Amino acid sequence: MPKFCANLTWLFKELPFLERFEAAKEGGFDAVEVLFPYDVNAQDIVNELGRHNLKMALINCPPPNYTGGEPGWAAVPAQKERFRRDFNRALRYAKTLGAQHLHIMSGVAEGDEAKACFIDNLRWATEAAPKQSLTIEPINNDTMPGYFLNCFDLAREVLEAVDAPHLRLQFDTFHAAKITGDMLGTWARMRDLVAHVQVAQMPDRHEPDQGEIDYPAFFSQLAAEGYDGWISGEYEPRSDTRAGLGWIA
């Protein structure tokens, strides 16, 4: 049975942030993720999670929201000190919220020096947070130009180099389709590394229903393969979020 999660950064934006938790529960979700919760009092989020019996599946690192700024810096050699300082802040938030996963963003960089920096920072992070599940996610260059981790083969290389059981892959179907043109084939190659799944339809990044990807079949495949992690809706609703939740039925 699939376990569905609502990304509250993308969904229910017609509501004030703290009201989105109740809407997610009423919409049929048992967990939520918030990309950048750092501008909100952590205790207020904890209260909403408890009030509506929701789990926090994932948050992003680094803080704060990178809107208008850099999308992380784990692979940016000149920002190594900043990454490690901000990772510790993100880790405190993750622990307070009970976040199952903490997603580490690579940032904009390129080349062998960036790869070495990324691997070194991830090794450091896995040692600094031995009990926290950590993820990395390939992101396509149309959505985030210049993002270092823009390839699934690179993601595997990095994960195998770090070789830590609590550092795994965050698999976003939209990014997989954009990067490779073959979401299902990419899933088949990478599923042994996956800890968390995010979904959106191609090509418009709306609800995972009608479009290029057969999501009912994909969800059935995940269940048959024994995937027991969260499946998070990370998409731009066509209109009111609640009107488009038929995909989780």
Tokens of 102: 């903490």
Task: Respond yes or no: is residue 26 known to be catalytic.
Answer: no
Name all domains of the chain by residue range, CATH numbers in brackets.
Answer: 3-248 (3.20.20.150)
Q: Quick one: pLDDT at residue 207?
A: 97
Tokens of 53: 């019996």
Amino acid at 225: E
Query: Which one from 33, 48, 137, 207 is the annotated catalytic residue?
Result: 137
Task: Respond yes or no: is residue 70 known to be catalytic.
Answer: no
Claim: this prediction has a pTM higher than 0.85: yes
Neighbouring CB atoms inside 10 A of 188's CB total 12
Write the Ramachandran bin of 205: left for phi over 0, alpha for psi from -120 to 50, otherwise beta: left
- State how far the Cα of 183 lies from the Cα of 174, in Å rounded to an integer: 8
Q: What is the pLDDT of residues 37-63, one digit of tens each?
A: 998 999 999 999 999 999 999 999 987
Question: For residue 101, which of 54, 41, 157, 169 has the smallest C-alpha distance?
Answer: 169
Beta strands, E only, 38-110: 55-61, 101-104
Position 179 pLDDT exceeds 90:
yes
Position 67 pLDDT exceeds 60:
no
Q: Quick one: pLDDT at residue 47?
A: 98
Q: How far is CA 189 from CA 74, 84, 110, in A?
A: 25, 31, 24
> Which residue bears the tokens 């690192």?
61
- State how far the Cα of 49 lies from the Cα of 30, in Å rounded to an integer: 10
Query: Which one from 33, 48, 207, 234 is the annotated catalytic residue?
Result: 234
Q: Quick one: pLDDT at residue 96?
A: 97
Bridge partners, 134 (sequence order): 102, 167
Position 127 pLDDT exceeds 60:
yes
